[in-house]
Amino acid sequence: MNSESLIGKAIEVLSQNDRGDHTVPAKDLYPHQWLWDSCFIAIGLRHYDIVRAQQELLSLLKGQWSNGMMPNMILSREKGAVRHKPELWQSNLSPYSPDSVPTSGITQPPMLAEAVVKIGKKLPLRERRSWYRRMYKAIVKYHEWLYYERDPHNEGLSLQIHSWETGLDNTPPWMNELHEHQQAFWIRFVHAAKLEFIFTLLRQDRKFALPGERLSTLDGLILYSIQRRLRRKAYDIKRIINHSQVAIEDLTFNCILIRANKMLQTIAKTIGEELPEELLKRMRKTENALEDLWDEHTGQYYSRNFASHDLIKIPSIATFMPLYAGCISKDRAKKLVDLLKSPSYSTRYPIPTVPTNSDWFQEKVYWQGPTWMNTNWLVIQGLEHYGFKEAAEHVKQQSIKLVEKNGFCEYFSPKDGEPAGTEDFSWTAALIIDLLQS
Ligand code: GLC
């Protein structure tokens, strides 16, 4: 298929998922507006409808909390399998939540500044400046929150309190930590009495994706029980981290934060603003703190448990995100590229979200093996940044082949490219447009 018709098809997917001022990730399955989805979507939209791309990001701002938090979901009443009703989150338990916009109480990787700058690059200087001015204050507030709330010991890394905050819901480093901690009584009971099947019958997501392609019911229950715990603490970070066993300084999240900090500096410079001194100090610290996540023995970066400071040494797609962060040495970047070329990552359709030689690897299970377009896109940006043009081009071409072969589905088998998850997924479409046009 030539690139023009592929782009045409991608545009069709995005318009089918368009809800006026924002785009849902996929109709029927995901009815809400998700934070990092909208950022990826805007990055694609900017190539053919810049005003709509700006709207996609502006509509995120109405969900921002008064303390700066950008929620991972702005909730809608539209029907869909991933329900997350406002009653489930009760975001109004927090004094900082917006009065009339129901949201979740947690965030997602800070892709916003990157999406704003990508749009800015398409605009002539005067319009770019006015675009940046519209977004600047909200992003500064968000980044301040990511540090003042989420880096309480001033160590340079932002902590996450739920795996949903990483966007990689059931990624092995998180699931491993969660499995090691004692589960809520009712979950232990359900498991011991082998009652998971009852909850499985109630699952709506299975109407849109085959059972073997989603996370297990037990893992789903564990994630919901953490969500309930956060709600009980009214999303108050002090109360949460005093009791939580699952605060993690996530590698992917912090790499995206490092890149976002650079983008925020670009925005500030373009409009002649000075970032607050304290924020700048915190931002500088993160680049150095990334080194604390490096393990010399295995030659990889990992996420870290916030309380124990132990690295969670389970490889996953996060391993390559320091390339996207762009602050590691060329030497380190080369080591990561060698790893990317090693047999357990060089599947026919790279990049598997878990290496194939890991006990965790499952070809089609959500974030435990499949190839996703957004993680590919992030790694491609990183490879290009460090000048690994051939490696970047390889991932890019195989990503394009995936959608040519199987459409814009949510994720794909890294081995044979078979589609998995739901069909017509917005960020797959948007990022293919970007890969074809950048
Ligand atoms: C799933 C993904 C998450 C995404 C959301 C909406 O929860 O894990 O990254 O934002 O779906 O697409």
Indicate which residue's Cα is closest to atom 2 of ligand 1. 167
H-run or E-run covering 411: strand 411-412
Which phi and psi (to 5°) does residue 221 adopt?
-65, -40
Count of the separate structural domains present in the chain? 1
Residue with the smallest CA separation from ligand 1 atom 9 is: 167
User: Does residue 245 register a pLDDT over 70?
Assistant: no
Residue 78: the pLDDT is 82
Contacts of 251 (CB under 8 A, 6+ apart): 173, 293, 301, 302, 303, 318, 319, 321, 322
pLDDT at 252 over 80: yes
Distance (Å) from CA 167 to ligand 1 centroid: 6
Look at residue 242 in the predicted model and tell me its pLDDT: 83
Residue pair 72/165 in contact (Cβ under 8 Å)? The answer is yes
Q: What is the pLDDT of residues 374-416, one digit of tens each?
A: 999 999 999 999 999 999 999 999 999 999 999 999 999 999 9
| Pick from 22, 302, 80, 38: nearest CA to 208 | 80
302: phi then psi, degrees, rounded to nearest 5: -140, 165
Residues serving a catalytic function are 169, 410
- Residue 79: which residues within 8 A CB-CB, separation 6 or more? 28, 31
Each residue of 298-325: pLDDT tens digit? 999 999 999 999 999 999 999 999 999 9
Region 121-131: what's the mean pLDDT?
A: 98
Confidence of residue 268 (pLDDT cuts 50, 70, 90): very high
How confident is the model over 79-93, as pLDDT tens digits?
A: 777 778 899 999 999
* CA gap 418, 253 in Å, rounded: 28
Site of tokens 């500044």: 113
Which atom of ligand 1 lies nearest, measured to the CA of 35? Answer: 10
- Ligand 1 centre from 35 Cα, in Å? 9
The mean per-residue pLDDT over the stretch 267-271 comes to 98
The model's pLDDT over 165-223, given as tens digits with 9 standing for 90+, comes to 999 999 999 999 999 887 887 888 778 778 777 777 777 777 777 777 788 888 888 99
Q: 331 CA distance to ligand 1 centroid (A)?
A: 33
Distance 366 CA to ligand 1 centre (A): 10
pLDDT tens for each residue of 409-420: 999 999 999 999
End-to-end CA distance of the chain: give it in Å, rounded: 18
**Which residue has its alpha carbon closest to ligand 1 atom 12?**
25
**Which range of residues forms the domain containing residue 180?**
3-437
> 36 CA to middle of ligand 1, Å?
8
Q: What is the CATH number of the domain that holds 377?
A: 1.50.10.10
CA–CA distance from 108 to each of 257, 300, 404 (Å)? 11, 23, 29
Which residues 6+ apart lie within 8 Å of 291 measured at CB? none
Counting atoms of ligand 1 from 1, which one is nearest the CA of 425? 12
Tens of pLDDT, residue by residue over 325-341, are 999 999 999 999 999 99
Residue of 35, 37, 250 to test ligand 1 pocket, by largest number of atoms within 8 Å of CB: 37
- List, chain by chain if needed, residues with CB within 6 Å of any ligand 1 atom: 25, 30, 34, 36-37, 167, 169
Mutational pocket test of ligand 1: of 14, 28, 34, the residue with most ligand atoms within 8 Å of the beta carbon: 34
